[in-house]
Amino acid sequence: MTFVPGLGIAKGMALTMRRFFAPKATIQYPETRPDVAVRFRGRLQLLYDELGNVKCETCFQCAQACPVECIDMGGFDTKGRFHVHWGAAEQYAERREGSALRRSGRPVPDPAYEHFGAVDLAPVDGILRKYDYEQNAMLDILESIQGVYGYLPVAALKRVSDVSGAPYALIYGTASYYRHLHFEKPGRSVAVCLCTACVLAGAGRIETTLARELGAELGRGPSAAGVSLTRLPAHIPGGHSPLVTLDGQPQTIGHSGVAAWARALAGRTVA
Amino acid sequence: MTLATILPTPPRFPRLLLPATPARDPLSLDEAQARGAFASLRKAVTELRPGGVIDVLTESGMRGRGGGGMPIGAKWQACASTAADRRYVVVNAYQADPAVLTDRVLLEANPYAVIEGAAIAAFAVGAAEVLVALRAEATETIRIVEKAIAAARDAGFVGDDILGTGLEIRFSVRPLQGSYMLGEETVLLKGLEGRRGQPEQQPPYTTTSGLFGVPTLIHAPQTFAAVPTIVAGGIAGFPETDPRTFAGTILVQVSGAVAKPGIAEIPFGVTLREVLDVVGGVPAPHKLKALLVGGPSGGILPPEALGVGFDHDALEAAGAQVGSGSIVILDQGACVVDLAAVLTRFCADEACGKTIPCRIGLRRLSEIGARICEGQPRGDEVARLTDLAADVSASALCDHERRATLALVSVVRYFRDELDAHIVRNTCPAGICHPKAEARVGAV
């Protein structure tokens, strides 16, 4: 075809004008809603950051919001606890390896499953009856369950969800939020007070030292040595500063002795 | 065991919350009635009626004693005028600040004032249920409050038939635990609903859509405890003060390098210097270096700020807050940079994670603070800190997020020399932070 000056522009403008008068595809969401099938839910997609890590923080917000409860996830939650496990774990990247092993019938060497063991659920049923299966009393129900077992077994939470009809994500959200509820069998517990008076007396540095020497991170469950590190919710009236407790008992340790004390507690010989 | 010392205050400070002479038995209803307890409830029920009570409170100009400092007349009006078939009144005695015991002291020393105030509130807004939310760790306080409620019920002041009018106002105590954020009102309501504790966007305010979605009036115990006085005397309840600016007293807990740490009842608007006089000042070899006003999410003020009045607006302007009513006095041995860094870390750890600027921004801020204290600052650390702090508080959903940056920001504002010593010269004037500590070890 011979070169006609301006033909390209004309072609382009023709397309522009055709589209200009064609019906518009853009809608003013959310004022107007697209016409989609009743069961349409869109596609779930996890986004990745520039380094290739999944941006999902396993916060369970989407699972709570999901009207048909089809969203579920596995992996580490925002506080670094690993037992966020429910539903098909292989949907999510973190557990692919474990899922492959499980599908092929091989044992999965995963500490995350220790807390999934079967427990006697009769007390759970009793507690639910006592609270009349009331979803609004979930905090009381969970506290009672922890009172019976010493921790919150996953099987018990599953039972609560099945029987009361409360979505598991909701129960998990409550159970993982409150510091006094925990999913692991309790070990020894070291707590640091971080009230302003204790902070002034150097509690922040003591907390850092304890985390390092115990190998336990704040609020993340027991370390390999079975010691967990938490914060005291309030200064014990009359207690000295800085205040450190072991299994609820105030300890008399100062800045100089805290590292050796923690090493001894973690079962390591003093260097 | 007493929780904390209640300090004597000058005679010109009115005592409205804690009795001037402590009751022999705070639980004795007869003794409390002899001091005038439940007279205001009777006046409210028989004379003023709900509309009159709200008018009296609006006229008094009283503001809430919690961190927010909302005018309470408007809150009650909003709660009462929202159409609903039931309403709640919640006494927020959770008191999240781990160092502060003012609400517990108030409830133990003067439980009937809080109960009466809450009953008047329930009558005024038309609520049949009052929930008293307390820390589960405060077992003694819970026991006292439950006994006081039972005694008031037996005497017919609360319960199924208050003062023979057939009205119903039931009280119940709800112990909660496990989260610092429960001190925030919308989070507390989530806790009472047995849900994950995360704040809600406001509006809708709790007064129109609160606990279980119904209008809910939520105040700190100190607010409720002041209500009977106002109802009894109208505006003249605070004769020594201008009601529009003062509107009553507040309990503060002063600790740190002072002669007599303890809890004091002070009128709103007295200067920080007067508060310091109440606690006996800073004992001799020590020198006042700074004041941390408002608890873990409060601001650190220099000695020049002693002239600042203790009320919501003045403290806000100075870069601090009323907050939990905590004032911590720092002497020369304390490092304000270290203090601000650890407080920011505390606030970041306690954040619920709902808003991203709070969840990630506070984490980054506490990392900046830690880097400065460890002697490994990067370039432009102060600019980055200021910028990020402004973003976090500008995009805040709740007051925790709005104020969690105050500590670091106030250090930048008032203690620039000390901050620069850490960043530029890599030393800590107080000898606490890492760079200095290492230098000292090297010297020995």
With beta carbons under 8 A apart, name residues in chain B contacting A173: 195-196
Span B288-344, pLDDT tens digits: 999 999 988 899 999 999 999 888 888 989 999 988 889 999 998 889 999 999 999
List average pLDDT for each run of 10 residues in chain A, which is 271 residues long. 87 94 86 80 72 69 71 57 46 49 60 66 92 90 92 88 86 87 83 86 87 80 79 81 86 82 74 43
The complex's ipTM works out to 0.82
Span B71-96, pLDDT tens digits: 888 899 999 998 888 999 999 999 88
> Chain B within 8 Å of A174 (Cβ-Cβ)?
yes
> Chain B within 8 Å of A212 (Cβ-Cβ)?
no
Three-state DSSP class for residue B25: coil
Span B97-136, pLDDT tens digits: 888 889 999 999 999 999 999 999 999 999 999 999 999 9
Span A146-192, pLDDT tens digits: 999 988 888 898 889 888 888 888 888 888 888 888 888 778 888 88
- Token pair of A253, please? 């340790």
Burial class from Cβ neighbours inside 10 Å (0-12, 13-18, 19+) for residue B304 reads: exposed
Phi, psi of B127 (to 5 degrees): -95, 145
Among chain A residues, CA nearest to B324:
A196
Per-residue model confidence (pLDDT) at position A200: 84
Per-residue model confidence (pLDDT) at position B439: 44
Per-residue model confidence (pLDDT) at position B245: 47
Per-residue model confidence (pLDDT) at position B275: 92
CB B427 within 8 Å of CB B388: no
Per-residue model confidence (pLDDT) at position B5: 85
Tell me if B328 and A197 make a contact (CB, 8 A cut-off).
yes
Nearest CB neighbour to A197, from listed B180, B256, B342: B256
With beta carbons under 8 A apart, name residues in chain B contacting A204: 338, 341-342, 345
Question: What are the structural domain ranges in chain A?
Answer: 47-106, 122-177, 188-265
- Mind listing the domains of chain B with CATH numbers? 29-237 (3.40.50.11540), 249-331 (3.10.20.600), 336-443 (1.20.1440.230)
Tell me if B178 and A140 make a contact (CB, 8 A cut-off).
no
Tracing tokens 């015991």 back to the chain, one arrives at B101
Cα–Cα distance for residue pair A155/A160, rounded to 1 Å? 9
Per-residue model confidence (pLDDT) at position B444: 35
Tell me if A234 and B135 make a contact (CB, 8 A cut-off).
yes
Span B160-186, pLDDT tens digits: 888 888 889 999 999 998 888 888 889
pLDDT-derived band at B238, boundaries 50, 70, 90: low
> Chain B within 8 Å of A199 (Cβ-Cβ)?
yes
Phi, psi of B119 (to 5 degrees): -70, -40
Tell me if A138 and B195 make a contact (CB, 8 A cut-off).
yes
Q: Side chain identity at B346, as an amino acid letter?
A: F
Tell me the nearest-neighbour CA distance from A193 into chain B, angstroms. 8
Nearest CB neighbour to A139, from listed B1, B194, B346: B194
| Mean pLDDT across chain B | 86
Span B12-33, pLDDT tens digits: 777 888 887 777 888 888 888 8
CB B406 within 8 Å of CB B298: yes
Among chain A residues, CA nearest to B101:
A237
Lowest mean pLDDT among A106-120, B35-49, B420-434: A106-120
> Chain B within 8 Å of A80 (Cβ-Cβ)?
no
Per-residue model confidence (pLDDT) at position A88: 43
Beta pairing class for B88-93 and B129-135? parallel
CB B135 within 8 Å of CB B173: no
The percent of residues above 90 in pLDDT, for chain B, comes to 42
